Structure 1
Amino acid sequence: MSSDEQDTGDDRARDGARSSGRRDPDRERRAAERARRIRERRAAERRGAGTPADTADTAAGVTDDGVADDRVADDRAAGTDRTGTAGRGSGRGAAAAVRDRTAARAAERSRSRDPRYRRRRLVALLATAAVVLLGMSAAGWWALGQYGPPVATVRVDGTRQIPVRDVEDAAGDQTGVPLAAVDTDGVAARVSAIPGVAAVEVDRSWPDTLVVVVTERTPAAVLDTPDGPKLVDVTGFVYRDAPPDVRLPRLQLPRIAPDDPATLAAVGVLQALPVPVRDQVQTLSLGGGGSTFELGLTEDRRVLWGPWSDTGQTAARARVLGPVLQRPGAVYDVSSPSLVTVRQR
């Protein structure tokens, strides 16, 4: 029997087996293997890398139909591989990507355990929160300045000698202005220009009141000027006309100014005296060629105070002067507090 006749007989036998309902295990196995490789290849294409199964099949020189390709084996023996080059490259790329991701995760975990990294992260979070809060506050303040409640009342506190009306006029008409939009610095500057005002604070009292708190100057003495007597405060500032009935010592100095050392020493002496003694002082002048102070008291008495530049003795001299004035005399020398002298004319 020839080979063609034998193949024809085999085909007939297989056809007879199929027609009789018998299964061909070899064909089913090859079909299942092809289907498996197709699924794995498609999955590898979606992942962008070859599967271990593809790599193994390619390395073995097996084609999709399960038949060994002699050319693949020859190429591998010669040091080349037509089917395996791309697979190995893709496999190496996938492995490198996995290693990079693993190293990145390990580095991130290491940084997260570092106290310095945690502190920097906390600082960044706090800074971000602060920026957000500042932005929200600025937006809220802007909204209040545009649409907030208007000023209904201007309240003035702290005045004793200064008329309230003068303060209100200096503050300006703020009625109807949104309370948040009031220029408090401008109001304070205008009120501070009033003679007799030492300091001003302008506050908002929600929902609709502007509060102006005035601190008046404290008068310490009177200065006679060509324009009439003026009040001098405890800082040596000449600020307003003296009332006709004011009972304060009169300063008789060549220069009165807040930056003048003799002026500051003079008001310091007057402030250090006990009130009963201060009420007896009528004048404070320079003596001894301009280097000492001399106090003129009621009943034509005098006090030799001593060098005005020696301010360290001011408190001690003021303390001994009260008891000394109980003694009869006309001239009281307290320039040396530990050795006070009293003499008649």
Structure 2
Amino acid sequence: MAGPTTARRGATTSRSGPPAPPGARRFRLPRPRLRLRRPGRRGVIIIAVLAALLGGFGAWALYGSDWLRLESVRAAGTQVLTPREVVAAAAAPLHTPLASVDTDAIEHRLLARLPRIKRVEVTRSWPHTLGLEVTERTPELLLQTNGKFEEVDGEGVRFATVARAPKGVPLLTLTVSDPAGSRRFGTGRLLRAAVAVARDLPPAVRPDVRSVRVRSYDAISLELAGGRTVLWGSSEQGAEKAKVLAALLKAARDARHFDISVPSAPAVSGS
């Protein structure tokens, strides 16, 4: 019977193959080690020179060569303005490096020269083009002065004067009889209140609105086609008033006067 020593020796033999001859030495092969050689001083200098050359070439390509210069400017998104008007107002510096074009300066120049533009996005389109994506202001109301019409947008901004009234835009009439109320609210605030009413008009009713009249902050009225009138009141609760007005116009088709200044208790009269 094999003792513990024989069992251990047998186990060792089974793991390592045939038993070694008496007196033989076991050798272990060294494990390979992966060593990364750091570049020497000469290699570092070569890498630095190559990086400098590439950087210099890139700078030259952007600013010194004719490869990436501004050759054309394109405008898009215009409705009333023409692309040619927008490009002329931008005054972009043609034949200069596209990378050096000051896009912020062009944006500010367009907003200052063309108030009809609400916002504009100026983008570089490599290799030779500058893009101008324009969003124009749209009129919510018109102010008539000296036979012409001043367009007012949804923010209360007077942005353009035109000879003909755009179709479907109500006329705004400011008839403030109370000087104290005018001083208290100011023309600007009254104008913004009227614009808020125009924005809240139901889509089905808007084509029939001929004018918006402001007598005071709490007395805004509408004149509809066919001589019908609507007492709107203040600009508050506009969405609720719009729903009530749309329902009344359907339910009382023969009525001439509608009072929705208190939307929870509307009234109609005339036939």
Q: Larger C-alpha radius of gyration, 1 or 2?
A: 1
Paired letter, 1:215 = T
2:84 maps to 1:165: yes
2:186 maps to 1:266: no
Contact 1:150 1:177 in 2 (8 A): yes
Distance 1:281 1:249 in 2: 6
3-state DSSP of counterpart to 2:84: helix
2:179 maps to 1:251: no
Alignment coverage as a number of residue pairs:
204
Distance 1:207 1:259 in 2: 50
Contact 1:222 1:242 in 2 (8 A): no
Distance 2:228 2:82 in 1: 38
Contact 1:274 1:318 in 2 (8 A): yes
2:106 maps to 1:182: no
1:14-37 CA distances to partner (integer Å, 9 max, x unpaired)? xxxxxxxxxxxxxxxxxxxxxxxx
Distance 2:223 2:99 in 1: 55
Pair 344,276 (structure 1): closer, same or farther in 2 beyond 3 Å: same
| Alignment correspondent of 1:60 | none
Contact 1:196 1:217 in 2 (8 A): yes
2:209 maps to 1:281: yes
**Paired residue for 1:317, among 224, 241, 244?**
241
2:221 maps to 1:294: yes
3-state DSSP of counterpart to 2:231: strand
Paired letter, 2:191 = T
Distance 1:259 1:304 in 2: 20
Structure 1 gap segments, 5+ residues each: 1-135
| Alignment correspondent of 1:209 | 129
Deviation at 1:291, TM superposition (A): 2.8
1:243-296 CA distances to partner (integer Å, 9 max, x unpaired)? 5252210111269xx982221121111111122201111111124x55311111
Paired letter, 1:145 = Y
Q: Within 5 A, what are the aligned runs for 1:39-50?
A: none
1:54-74 CA distances to partner (integer Å, 9 max, x unpaired)? xxxxxxxxxxxxxxxxxxxxx
Paired letter, 2:116 = G
**Paired residue for 1:240, among 157, 160, 179?**
160
Deviation at 1:320, TM superposition (A): 1.2
3-state DSSP of counterpart to 2:247: helix
Q: Within 5 A, what are the aligned runs for 1:327-342?
A: 327=252, 328-342=254-268
Structure 2 gap segments, 5+ residues each: 1-53, 177-185
3-state DSSP of counterpart to 2:130: strand
Pair 189,290 (structure 1): closer, same or farther in 2 beyond 3 Å: closer
Q: Within 5 A, what are the aligned runs for 1:83-162?
A: 144-147=62-65, 149-162=68-81
Distance 1:219 1:164 in 2: 20
1:310-334 CA distances to partner (integer Å, 9 max, x unpaired)? x2x1110011111211212111011
Distance 1:251 1:319 in 2: 22
Deviation at 1:215, TM superposition (A): 1.0
Pair 254,208 (structure 1): closer, same or farther in 2 beyond 3 Å: farther
- With 325-334 and 168-177 compared, the bigger mean Cα shift is at 168-177
Contact 2:92 2:106 in 1 (8 A): no
| Alignment correspondent of 2:48 | none
1:82-131 CA distances to partner (integer Å, 9 max, x unpaired)? xxxxxxxxxxxxxxxxxxxxxxxxxxxxxxxxxxxxxxxxxxxxxxxxxx
Contact 2:230 2:259 in 1 (8 A): yes
Deviation at 1:173, TM superposition (A): 4.9
Pair 254,191 (structure 1): closer, same or farther in 2 beyond 3 Å: farther
TM-score w.r.t. structure 1 length?
A: 0.54
Q: Which structure: greater strand fraction? A: 2
Deviation at 1:196, TM superposition (A): 0.9
Deviation at 1:154, TM superposition (A): 0.8
Contact 1:146 1:181 in 2 (8 A): no
Paired letter, 2:82 = P
Paired letter, 1:299 = G
Q: Which structure: greater helix fraction? A: 1
Identity of paired residues, percent? 35
Paired letter, 2:96 = V
